[in-house]
Amino acid sequence: MAHSSRRPLPSRLYAIVDADVAARAGWRVPDLADAYLQAGVRILQLRAKDAPARDVLAWTEALARRAGEAWVIVNDRVDVALVAGTRHVHLGQDDLPVDAARALLGPAAVIGLSTHSEAQVEAACQLPIDYLAVGPVFGTQTKNTGYAPVGTALVAAARARVGTSDPMPLVAIGGITLAQAPAVVAAGADAVVVISDLLVDGAPEARARAFLRVLGEA
């Protein structure tokens, strides 16, 4: 069953704070999140695939204290979102089923789901999610998704499926750079999800501001 209390995304830039990527770039997770929040980012996802649960919980709580009205979304970890009280999660195709996550987190939670094909987009539209993610749009070295790049064609196909009148919000992820972001939005994405390109010049706050400018938010 589709989710009846869906809300619009608060920003066109959706920044992922990946613990491993942050560490390689010399950033602590809370400090990198602060840089994005200072730039005006209003959707943050914490992704920490290999970190101990206590670290993920501590980071989530730290982000929540700093975030104000911004969304703090935890990748995969419904348990952490529950304990931290943030209640927002992003799920993959092999994670806890969306129906189960919704039952645990409640109607006010924000739940996003990754999709990689038109069949997965179609199935996701029947689930109680708040936004749909499509990707990887371009090639990415951030993680091995197991899926080939889908290009902007799948973004456009997903937009056609979710519609434009009171639609489900659609985000695009995977190898998106500052130069490519406007074209991805033009293809139909409501927001672009970015990890590595926010760190390319070692000044993530300035880079995030640049993304917001090209996306018409600054």
From 12, 42, 47, 159, the catalytic residue: 47
Show the DSSP H helices in the chain as ranges. Answer: 19-24, 29-39, 53-67, 78-84, 98-105, 118-124, 151-162, 181-186, 204-214
Which is catalytic among the residues 12, 102, 114, 159?
Answer: 114
Whether the bond between 204 and the residue before it is cis, its omega within 30 degrees of 0, is: no
Catalytic, 114? Answer yes
Residue 73 pairs with which residues in a beta bridge? 45
Q: Is there a catalytic annotation at residue 117?
A: no
Per the annotation, the verdict on 47 as an active-site residue is yes
The greatest distance separating any two alpha carbons of the chain, rounded to the nearest whole angstrom, comes to: 43
CA proximity to 133, closest of 153, 154, 148: 154
Please pick, among 6, 28, 143, 161, the residue that the annotation labels catalytic. Answer: 143
Q: Which residues are catalytic?
A: 47, 114, 143
